[in-house]
Chains A and B, each alone.
Chain A
């Protein structure tokens, strides 16, 4: 079971429902009242709450990870027109990551290739 904080760009009712049904503990930036705030604020809040950030905003969170690599994990979904992961794909990729025993704390992962 992952403790996740869904960033503003990825959160949707459907994804929250699918992740919750898969057994994850999910909160969104809306739940925490931090919609519209900076990525730094989102990551700081996730770190305080020991939650792994899940976001579409790959390169900006990558830059944050390089600047401050102590956090509860950053998972991103890279998007390219015509090759996007569906929400069930994202949930499956997270399950595969978790099943593989990947450590999340202080790490940055793109989940795309974990969809199989």
Chain B
């Protein structure tokens, strides 16, 4: 099987090198590259769980539950009030909480039908603030939304579904 390889090339100072080495030891990785890849997978897994609204906790020596805060991840998670992740085989864009409705659908429907956020909210039985958040999310993640639209197109064209121009 052929894989396209992309070279990652960057410099680190002594403290950063020490951090990478510590991560390599913690993760029991043979090389720094392996440690970075394992760390990326670990962070992605935790972030996906946190985006569904779950919290990261541990047990202390006394068996008490202790909440673990990871500032970088908590910031990402808590920035959206009305949006959350939903398990899907390949989609990664966010959904409206409690709905089987992608944030980008709220936004694109509003644009395609020339509605105001208030009209879109009334049309979908959503708070106006949720629509405004869906707009902000969609505008900030347009590349992801475009890529997932292309993925969907390929999945339709492959079995022969006609989409037209």
Contact = CB atoms under 8 A, between A and B. Distances in A.
A80 B149 contact: yes
Given A80-B153, A84-B112, A14 B123 contact: yes
Interface string A95-116: 0000000000000111011100
Interface in B104-144: 104-105, 108-109, 111-114, 122-125, 142
Nearest to B125: A13
Interface stretch (B33-41, B57-65, B95-103): B95-103
Nearest to A85: B112
A113 B159 contact: no
Interface string A6-26: 011100111000000000000
A113 B165 CA distance: 7
B66 interface: no
Nearest to B99: A8
A17 B159 CA distance: 33
Interface residues of A, number: 27
The winner among B108, B112, B142, B146 for most chain A CB atoms within 10 A is B112
B interface, by DSSP: helix, strand, loop or mixed? helix
A25 to B, nearest CB: 21
Contacts, number: 78
A40 interface: no
A62 B161 contact: yes
Interface string A56-88: 101100100010000000000011110011110
A35 interface: yes
A79 B108 contact: yes
A9 B159 contact: no
Given A12-B123, A78-B152, A113-B163, A35 B105 contact: no
26 contacts: A8-B101, A9-B102, A9-B105, A12-B123, A35-B99, A36-B98, A36-B99, A58-B155, A58-B156, A58-B161, A59-B151, A59-B156, A62-B159, A62-B161, A66-B159, A78-B163, A80-B149, A80-B153, A81-B104, A84-B108, A86-B113, A87-B112, A108-B161, A110-B156, A110-B163, A114-B164
Interface of A: 7-9, 12-14, 35-36, 56, 58-59, 62, 66, 78-81, 84-87, 108-110, 112-114
Interface of B: 98-102, 104-105, 108-109, 111-114, 122-125, 142, 145-146, 149-153, 155-156, 159, 161-165
